[in-house]
Amino acid sequence: MRLNPFNTDNIDVRGGGGSSRFPGGGAGQLGCGTIIIAGIVSLLFGTDFGQTIAVFDSVDQATSGSRQADGARANMTEEQLCTENAYSTEACNALQSLNATWEPVFAQANVEFREPFLKLFVNNVNTEGCGSATSAVGPFYCPRDEGIYLDTSFYDTMKNQLGAGGDFARLYVVAHEYGHHIQNLTGLASQVRSLQQRSPRDANQLQVRMELQADCYAGVWAGKNRNLVDPGDFEEGMEAASAIGDDAISERMGGRVSPENFTHGTSEQRMEALRLGMRSGDDTTCDRYFAPESF
C-alpha cells in the first residue's frame, strides 16, 4: 500500500519503555499473578502448564535486562522514533493516513474526533491508563489514554511464526488497533464493557464482536484509500486475518479448539470482517456486529 510520508505535525508519536514485570515477580522469579495467568492460558488452550510457565519466565528475564535502554527512548523526538527502522516509519505513515481518513467521517457525523497517539516501545512499556505490558501481548489499544502501543518486533513474529508477511499485513495491525479507537470515541467500547460486567457469561461473545468490528474498520480504511492499494495487498490482509484467528492460534499452540473461549473470532470470521470493510469502504457496514438482530 503506497502511503504518503509522515509529517510529525500530523501525528502524535511517543517513545519510552517502562519497568514492566509480570505481576509480583522479580527477574527470574515469577509471582503469583504470573502463575495465575499461566494457569488460565493453559486452561483455555489446553497447553502444558509447565511449558507455559517456562515461556513466561524466559520473557520476564529477557525484558528485565532491557528496561534501562528502553527508558532512554523517552528522550527521542518523533522524527527519530518514526525513522528508527523501516517498520516504525511504516507505522507512522499509517497513523497519518488513518487520522486523515477518519477525521472527515466524524466531522460529517458531527461527532467529536480526537487523534490517538502511537507509542513505539521495545520489550516492555508502562501505559498511561492501562497498567504495564510486555511485547508478548502484541500490539494493543488503551481506551483510557487513547493510545496505540506497538513494539515493531511483533512484525517479525507475525511473519516468521504466523506466516503473515507483507506491508499490508503490518498496516492491518495498526488499522485494527485504530478501529478500537473508533469504538472508544463513539462510546461503543464503554457500552460493551458495561454489558460484559452485567452479563459475564456473554463477555467473550461481546469481545469477539468488538474485535470483528475493529477488523471491519481496518478494512474500511483500506477501502477508502483503494487508489493506494497495490496488487497482492488484499491477499496479504486475508492471510494475516486467517493467521490470527482464535481457532488457528489454538491449533498452532497444540491445544484444543474451544469456541466458548474465543475472544477475537475465527479465521473465517476475521477474514470476512476485513473483506466487508475493504469492499464497501463504508463504516456503517460495520454496524452489523452490534445490530439488534445479531444478538
Under 8 Å between Cβ of 79 and 8: yes
Strands (E), the chain: 13-14, 117-120, 124-126, 132-134, 140-142, 147-150
Task: Report the residue count for the chain.
Answer: 295
Q: What is the pLDDT of residue 255?
A: 58
What's the pLDDT at 164? 79
Global pTM?
0.80
Distance in angstroms (rounded) separating the CA atoms of residues 276 and 207: 19
* DSSP 8-state code for residue 142: E
Q: What is the pLDDT of residue 113?
A: 98
pLDDT of residue 55: 47
The answer to whether 92 and 13 have CB atoms below 8 angstroms apart is yes
**Cβ-based neighbour number of residue 144 at 10 Å:** 11
pLDDT tens across the length of the chain (295 residues): 999 999 999 999 998 654 333 333 333 344 344 444 444 444 444 444 444 444 444 444 444 444 444 567 778 999 999 999 999 999 999 999 999 999 999 999 999 999 999 999 999 898 878 999 888 888 999 999 999 999 999 999 888 887 778 899 999 999 999 999 999 999 999 999 999 999 998 888 899 999 999 999 999 999 999 999 998 888 888 887 777 676 566 666 665 556 666 667 788 899 899 999 999 999 999 999 998 665 5
Distance CA 222, CA 204 (A): 27
pLDDT of residue 17: 59
Query: What's the pLDDT at 31?
Result: 39
β pairing state of 147-150 and 140-142:
antiparallel
Q: Decide: 172 and 241 in contact? Cβ < 8 Å.
A: yes
CB-based burial of residue 66 (10 Å sphere; 0-12 exposed, 13-18 middle, 19+ buried)? middle
